[in-house]
Amino acid sequence: MVAYLWLVWYESPTKAALRHWALAITYEAHDHAYATFHEIASDSSGTRYQARVVRRVHLTSRHGTIAYAGKLLLGEVTDQVLASLEMYSETAAELVNAHNRKRGVHESTCHDWAIIIVRSLEDALLLPAGSLSRAEKSPRFG
């Protein structure tokens, strides 16, 4: 069965504020498809990110109270990607946290987390060439 990997972003409160990014898996390539979202969110202390999975959400739905803003289809993915995406997500979250411990809280964010995953998948030839460069051009600010 074919699955699709998307980079999804949400509105930010101001033009200078960061947008939230998430990665979504769907089995259909349209806006009303149900998705499994992978993302990172701050823990209760606000100093560390944790990987999180949210299932059965419409691809273009709101994120809590934050409005959907856009998406980018990164490519078709195999069952191998589906089976390992949670592990990729947790590993990328730890890399973001390690960077932030050295450089400062929230210097590295959900954007860096997503880029780490997309880079890893493209390097492993599990995403089409050019997926990383397209993801890097996606809007990060309001």
Model confidence pLDDT, tens digit, residues 74-91: 999 998 899 999 999 999
Residues 6+ apart with CB under 8 A from 60: 8, 31, 32, 68, 71
CA dist 89 to 38, 67, 108, 113, Å?
7, 23, 15, 8
* pLDDT given for residue 27 in this prediction: 96
Residue 62 corresponds to which amino acid? R
Q: What is the pLDDT of residues 77-132, one digit of tens each?
A: 998 899 999 999 999 999 999 999 998 877 899 999 999 999 999 999 999 999 99
Residue type, 38: H
User: What phi, psi does 4 have (nearest 5°)?
Assistant: -125, 140
CA distance linking residue 128 with residue 52, whole number of Å: 25
Sheet holding 49-58, edge to edge: 49-58, 34-42, 21-26, 3-10, 68-77
How high does pLDDT run on average in the chain? 94
pLDDT at 30 over 80: yes
Q: What value does the mean pLDDT take over residues 132-141?
A: 97
* Domain edges within the chain: 3-136
pLDDT tens column, 2-12 = 999 999 999 99
pLDDT for the residue 1:
80
Q: What percent of the chain has pLDDT over 70?
A: 100
**How large a percentage of the chain has pLDDT more than 90?**
85
